[in-house]
């Protein structure tokens, strides 16, 4: 039950982080599109960039790095890979949905943002970006522990 509780708590923290990032994303997008008359696709792109930066910082400091073992450079590189996909999905999805529906781009952006956040961002951040960077050492340690345990059983 402890692992399930931990996973639920991590998911809740990640969703809160995503909401903070979404506020940044949407504020930048709407400001650029409405106040500066920048094409909604570029506005959406720059909004996604700002939201991604906020999300990475909050996730690194609060959501996934409970132990402090994650290396910033490794996380930054992996986050950049996932974030690139996220920005492409958000920007292209917003464009396609806006053009197909003929609605104001923010409506399409909301639908796309929720789908990308749950199906792409959270899953890849949890399973890839913020995954223990010392996994190889942990596997070796477990193998050695099992071998030593077997040796002790044989010697008895």
State the alpha helices, DSSP H only, in the chain.
2-30, 40-58, 72-101, 105-116, 122-124, 135-155
pLDDT digits 0-9 by tens, 44-103? 999 999 998 998 889 888 887 655 666 778 888 898 999 999 999 999 999 999 999 999
Is the backbone of residue 22 left (phi > 0), alpha (psi -120 to 50) or beta? alpha
Task: Name the nearest CA neighbour of 66 among 142, 120, 132.
Answer: 132
Task: Name the nearest CA neighbour of 23 among 55, 45, 60, 70.
Answer: 55
Domain count, the chain: 1
With 0.75 as the threshold, say if the pTM is over it: no
DSSP 59-72: IIIIIS-SSS---H
Rounded to whole angstroms, the Cα distance separating 86 from 39 reads: 20
Domain with 42, as residue range(s), is 2-155
């Amino acid at each position: 039950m402890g692992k399930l509780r931990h996973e639920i708590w991590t998911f809740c923290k990640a969703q809160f982080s995503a909401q903070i990032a979404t506020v940044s994303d949407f504020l930048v997008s709407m400001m650029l599109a409405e106040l500066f008359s920048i094409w909604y696709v570029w506005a959406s792109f720059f909004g996604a960039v700002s939201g991604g930066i906020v999300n990475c910082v909050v996730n690194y400091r609060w959501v996934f790095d409970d132990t402090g073992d994650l290396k910033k450079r490794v996380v930054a590189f992996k986050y950049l890979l996932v974030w690139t996909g996220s920005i492409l999905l958000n920007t292209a999805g917003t464009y396609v949905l806006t053009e197909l529906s003929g609605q104001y781009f923010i409506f399409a952006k909301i639908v796309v943002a929720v789908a990308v956040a749950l199906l792409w961002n959270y899953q890849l951040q949890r399973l890839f970006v913020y995954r223990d960077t010392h996994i190889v050492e942990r596997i070796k340690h477990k193998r050695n522990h099992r071998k030593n345990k077997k040796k002790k059983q044989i010697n008895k």
